[in-house]
Amino acid sequence: MFNSDELSAMEDEIKEMEEALQQAKAQYKEKKYSALRDAVKTRNEMDKVVQEELKKLGVSSWTNNNPIQFPFQFKF
């Protein structure tokens, strides 16, 4: 059917295709999650800005790392 040279050539071609596939998958993953990665980065930067503003206002910390919640607990 096939001689050893043809099989060797096919094996090399398969390895090259597998490497190309891995690179394509990595590029796909990078593009797929780039917007999310940018959004998380922006959110973290904005959290730092909020922390600085709260520090300027004299609020040293907040609960659950959520700057929208008051650092005080109200009892009804």
Whole-number Å distance between alpha carbons of 42 and 11? 46
* pLDDT value, residue 76: 46
Are the CB atoms for 59 and 66 separated by under 8 Å? Answer: no
So what's the pLDDT on residue 15?
Answer: 98
- Looking at residue 6, what is its pLDDT? 92
Judge whether 63 lies within some domain. no
Q: How far is CA 59 from the centre of its chain?
A: 31
Residue 59 near residue 71, CB atoms below 8 Å: yes
Number of domains in the chain: 1
**42 in a structural domain:** yes
Q: Domain residues for 42?
A: 23-57
In this prediction the pTM is 0.53
pLDDT number for residue 57: 86
pLDDT of 24 over the 90 cut:
yes
Within-domain flag for 6? no
Q: 65 Cβ partners below 8 Å, 6+ apart?
A: 47
Average pLDDT over residues 35-59: 91
Residue 2 lies in a domain: no
Q: Is residue 17 one of the residues assigned to a domain?
A: no
Q: Is 46 helix (H, G, I), strand (E, B) or coil?
A: helix
In a domain, 45, yes or no: yes
